[in-house]
Amino acid sequence: MIEAIATQVENRILREDMQTIYQHLSEQEKDKLRDSTILLTGCGGFLGYYFMHFFAQYAEELNIQRIIGLENFLTGTKDWLDNLVASNPEVIKLHEFNVITDSVEDIPGAAEANLVIHMASIASPTFYRIYPIETVDANITGLRRLLDFYADKQLRGFLFFSSSEIYGDPFPEFIPTSEDYRGNVATIGPRACYDEAKRFGETLCYLFSQKHNMPIGIARPFNNYGPGMSIHDKRLPADFAKAVVEGRDLEILSDGTPTRTFCYISDAITGYLKVLLHGQFDVFNIGMDKPELSVRDFAGFFNTQGKAIFNYQGKISFNTSQDKEYLTDNPNRRCPNISKARQLLAYEPQMGVEEGIRRYLEFLFINKEQAL
């Protein structure tokens, strides 16, 4: 079985993406990374894969003092992390850590961290419905413990990963959705554990920024995809990639009409770094604002690129999930207004969706032999 997460840094797609991210950071943003100690929770997941590789690749150039990765491996992957640590054991430190129950003060070097990225949360609906309490606790209890610990520290930036799901299912007049939209969210239901935990997490960040003058940035991601996303992740891009790799039909468990915008991982990480390094409290949508594609159109790109890269012979099919709550509270449309990020962060995503899907599938193809 092929895993989306590769274990070798020399993958061409990964190397090119790291360079792209670096090139799109300003000199002022790079200066904030210089001589830093960076602590990341949930470092073994999809986003952690790119963050960890980026910081590792530019550790020498930016004189990064230490990269501290914390992960409980509930859904994260360890093999590539072990290889990354082995490549630079003096700088990169990995700790098995439960952000809900373990104390960050017990982690060597954590008190010296001046950049903190909190992404320890399950983001796949399939998995957060299996672990709903853990999802709530990671975004509330775990976040609170981190905020308490760093409230009196000299931070350059603290990044909390919220979600576009905090908007729920926006009314049509609020699409594209801007940061001041208050949301149309169900407090009770199969997605509530994630959506409401992220909403309350944002409130905690706001309160700590007010009381302790903490430089907290809140990112609201909109549908990321690309290398680093395991094909077993159970989100839409992963399901389609898995079908291409295994030669199965691209199965859509709806009528294919819900729409989303999709943001390639290098564009997403660039935006998240800009939020982290902004240096003051604020909240930003990070994602692509166009095109807004139907699920069926998105599957069509996987079909086309799958044929070119994997000689894929499958087709798009439609079915109904055996899970009766599969589509409950699932937003019909998801599209961000990113004007604020453009204006304040100089954020400008570049990668077209079809090109991004091609890069994702090429990444999988390059690594297929060692992953089988």
76: confidence class by pLDDT, cuts 50, 70, 90: low
pLDDT of amino acid 243: 96
Mean pLDDT of 56-78: 90
95-141 residue pLDDT tens: 999 999 999 999 999 999 999 999 998 888 888 889 999 999 999 99
Determine the pLDDT at residue 371: 39
pLDDT at 255: 87
> Distance between CA 15 and CA 359 in Å, rounded?
12
List 263's β-bridge partners, or say none. 224
pLDDT of 77 > 70? The answer is no
- Which pLDDT score is estimated for 326? 55
Pair 313, 250: CB distance under 8 Å: no
Which is more confidently placed, 273 or 328?
Answer: 273
Angle between helices 46-57 and 265-276 (to 10 degrees): 70
Farthest-apart Cα atoms in the chain, separation: 58
Q: What is the mean pLDDT of residues 162-181?
A: 96
Q: What pLDDT does residue 323 have?
A: 66
Has residue 222 got a pLDDT over 50? yes
* The pLDDT of residue 370: 40
Distance (Å, rounded) from C-alpha 283 to C-alpha 219? Answer: 6
The distance of Cα 173 from the centroid of its chain, to the nearest Å, equals 27
Q: How would DSSP label each residue in 130-154?
A: HSHHHHHHHHTHHHHHHHHHHTTS-
Across 289-303, average pLDDT: 96
Answer yes or no: is pLDDT of 52 > 90: yes
Please give the CATH superfamily to which domain 12-228+263-291+336-351 belongs: NAD(P)-binding Rossmann-like Domain (3.40.50.720)
Over residues 57-68, the mean pLDDT reads 97
Residues catalogued as catalytic: 194
Lowest mean pLDDT among 79-83, 99-103, 204-208, 297-301: 79-83
> What are the residue ranges spanned by the domains of the chain?
12-228+263-291+336-351
Which residue type does 271 have? Answer: G
